[in-house]
Structures are given as C-alpha cells and as structure tokens.
C-alpha cells in the first residue's frame, strides 16, 4: 500500500481509503465487519464515515469492528447534514457539532476522531462560530485534524482565511465528488487545494459504479447493482456518462485490468489527491479495488483517459450535498 500526506499536515493516509455509507444498509453488519477487517489486513488505514450514514448504523458497526484495532486506523467522520426533525438537528452550529461529536464517539467506541469533517456548508451559522468550535475540539484532544466537504471554492477559501486571521486550526482536507465522470473540481477546487495545502479526498470515485462499465445502456440494471438496490441512483444516469463508462471499460480490457482499477488509479495520479475512498458491499469488491493502489498508469494511458473525460470538467458536478 502507498501512503500520502493528508494535505499539508504530517498525517499519512493510505492511497486507497474505505468508504462506509453502505454499512448497515446494502451491506449487513457481518459483511461490513468482514470488509473492515480485510481492509485493515490489506494495508488500508483510512476509514471514512458520517453520523448520518444508514441512520448512524455505519458508525456503530465500525466501532464494533475496530475493538482492539483502533490504533491501526485513521478514522474520519462527519457532521452537518440533517440528523433529525428538530431546528438544531442540522448545520454546523456549536450546539449541533458538539452534540454530534459526542454521539459519534460513543457509537465509534473511541475517545477521539482523527479527522472530523463538516459535511456541507451551513449558510445559517457564521463560519467563525463553526471554526472556533472545531478549534476547541482539537484543543480538547477529541479531534486530531479537521476537514470540510461540499463547500463551494469561495466558501472554503473564506473559511481558511478566517482560520488564518484568528490563529485557529485550519482545514487540512476537502471531500468532493471527483472522478473521470466529474472533473469539475479541476476548475477551482484543485488549484485552491494546491495553493493552500489541502488534501483532496474524492467521493463517488467510480461515479457510483458507472465507471465500472456494468451499465451498458441507460436501461441496463444488472442484478445486485446500485441501480437495483437504490432505484433513486438512476438520477445520475445520462447518455454521456454511460458512454464514458464503456470507453473506460474498453481501455481497461486493453490494459488487462478492470475499469474500476483504471479509474481509481487515475484519481491517485491527480495532484492534491491524498486518498481515494471507495465503498464495498462485499469483500470481493474491496479485493479488486485494492489492485488500484499498485497499478502504475503510463503516460499514454493518462493522456487517453484525459482525452475521453475532458468534457467532464465542465457542466454540473456529478453530486453535491447541501442543506436546503
């Protein structure tokens, strides 16, 4: 396994990280624990979750799986998206974040989180309140590093500026949708990250499975695929994305690897990317994705992948999660 610094921090994370939003949902508890243990045994050290994943079951399962192995993991979670129906059950106010951190620590069976991330920008809470709260969490020892997700570039830069001005701990990482099917971060977010020393953590690195080539047409729904287990996922389908998935699959066949490996390896070659989080609903999926961490793309492959996905730098992001 390769390891990279998380942005400008001294923390090193595995090139491939484990995403866990299916744990307790599309993957039952026993399967999820097997996946986590196999990830650790294979050299993955970065595990990413959130307080809202599968109704908080993801965090609970991770806590159970990590008993006796907590020190082997860089554990990341998030808060800020809707957690309930009350007026303070969302956002990044001091009230909400402190409550959610304590709840996450209980579920995860730990007394600290390595990376605590704001899940999305909160327009109703002053950034100074959010950033002072996060700084207090770091100083208390309950959080080691802080990050953000789903911010617009200007929101992220404003947050970094406030932290700099007030002498607060600053974000070291940023999670965003980023893949061959969504290269919109390259316009503003990646240059910002390179300038400010942020580690990019892509989510939806396989565009929810579209980049595996499993969807041959808009109406293709292979048994067990996400389009079957989560019918709402088909909102991400469009002709150009399906065509791109088929092109990536063709290149992968020529290279003698899977489309997943090729897509993930491409991301690992991109500037500012520190770790690529990819989910799994069975151990076999994880085993295949692990190959990406040791796959070396040559210049011809990089150029061809850039060519077929260049249009994906423009238009709407594949996914973004915001408070409404």
> 106-122, pLDDT tens digit by residue?
999 999 999 999 999 99
The answer as to whether 219 is a domain residue is: no
What does the pLDDT average to over 172-201?
A: 98
Q: What is the model's pLDDT at position 228?
A: 59
Answer yes or no: is 292 within a domain.
yes
Quick one: pLDDT at residue 214? Answer: 82
Print the domain residue range for 70: 3-207+260-297
Residue 112 lies in a domain: yes
User: Which of 63-67, 127-131, 202-206, 238-242 has the least mean pLDDT?
Assistant: 238-242
Rounded to an integer, what distance in angstroms lies between the CA atom of residue 67 and that of residue 70?
Answer: 6
The residue from 4, 53, 95, 215 that is catalytic is 53
Which is it for the CA torsion 78, 147, 74, 137, positive or negative?
A: negative
Q: Are 66 and 75 in contact, with CB atoms under 8 Å apart? A: yes
| Domain annotation covers residue 224 | no
Give the pLDDT of residue 226. 65
Task: Give the predicted TM-score (pTM) of the model.
Answer: 0.95
Q: How many residues does the chain have?
A: 324
| Distance from C-alpha of 233 to C-alpha of 65, rounded to nearest angstrom | 28
116 carries an active-site annotation = no
316 found inside a domain: no
Q: What is the CATH number of the domain that holds 163?
A: 3.20.20.100
Indicate whether 45 belongs to any domain. yes
175: closest CA among 148, 144, 207?
A: 148
Number of domains in the chain: 1
Name the band, by pLDDT with cuts 50, 70 and 90, for residue 324: confident
The pLDDT of 190-218, averaged and rounded, is: 92
pLDDT at residue 227 tops 60: no
Helix H segments across 230-296? 239-255, 259-268, 283-290
Mean pLDDT over residues 165-175, rounded? Answer: 98
For residue 255, tell me if it sits in a domain: no
Kindly tell me the burial class for residue 298, based on how many C-beta atoms sit within 10 Å of its own C-beta (0-12, 13-18, 19 or more). exposed
What is the residue-averaged pLDDT of the chain? 95
Model confidence at 234: pLDDT above 80: no
Is 90 exceeded by the pLDDT of residue 260? yes
What local confidence, expressed as pLDDT, does residue 288 receive? 96
- Band of pLDDT at residue 126, cut at 50, 70 and 90: very high
Instruction: Give 225's pLDDT tier (boundaries 50, 70, 90).
Output: low
Residue 245 covered by a domain: no
């Amino acid at each position: 396994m390769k390891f990279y610094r998380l942005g400008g921090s001294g923390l090193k994370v595995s090139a491939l990280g484990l995403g866990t939003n299916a744990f307790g949902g599309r993957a039952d508890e026993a399967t999820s624990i097997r996946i986590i243990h196999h990830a650790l045994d294979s050299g993955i050290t970065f595990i990413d979750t959130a307080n809202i994943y599968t109704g908080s079951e993801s965090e609970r399962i991770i806590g159970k799986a990590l008993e006796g192995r907590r020190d082997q993991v860089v554990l990341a979670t998030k808060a800020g998206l809707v957690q309930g129906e009350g007026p303070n059950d969302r956002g990044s106010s001091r009230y909400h974040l402190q409550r959610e951190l304590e709840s996450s620590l209980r579920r995860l069976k730990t007394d600290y989180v390595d990376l605590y991330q704001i899940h999305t920008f909160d327009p109703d809470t002053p950034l100074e309140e959010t950033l002072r709260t996060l700084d207090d969490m770091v100083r208390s020892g309950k959080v080691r590093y802080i990050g953000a997700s789903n911010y617009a570039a200007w929101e992220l830069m404003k947050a970094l500026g406030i932290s700099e001005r007030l002498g607060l701990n600053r974000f070291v990482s940023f999670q965003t949708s980023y893949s061959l099917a969504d290269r919109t971060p390259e316009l503003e977010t990646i240059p910002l990250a390179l300038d400010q020393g942020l580690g990019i953590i892509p989510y939806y690195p396989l565009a929810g499975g579209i980049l595996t080539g499993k969807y041959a047409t808009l109406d293709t729904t292979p048994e067990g695929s996400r389009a079957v287990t989560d019918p709402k996922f088909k909102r991400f389908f469009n002709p150009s994305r399906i065509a791109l998935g088929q092109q990536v699959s063709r290149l992968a066949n020529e290279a003698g690897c899977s489309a997943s490996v090729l897509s993930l390896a491409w991301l690992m070659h991109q500037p500012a990317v520190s770790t690529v989080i990819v989910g799994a609903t069975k151990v076999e999926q994880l085993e295949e994705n692990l190959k990406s961490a040791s796959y070396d793309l040559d210049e011809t492959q990089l150029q061809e992948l850039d060519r077929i996905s260049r249009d994906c730098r423009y238009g709407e992001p594949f996914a973004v999660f915001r408070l409404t």
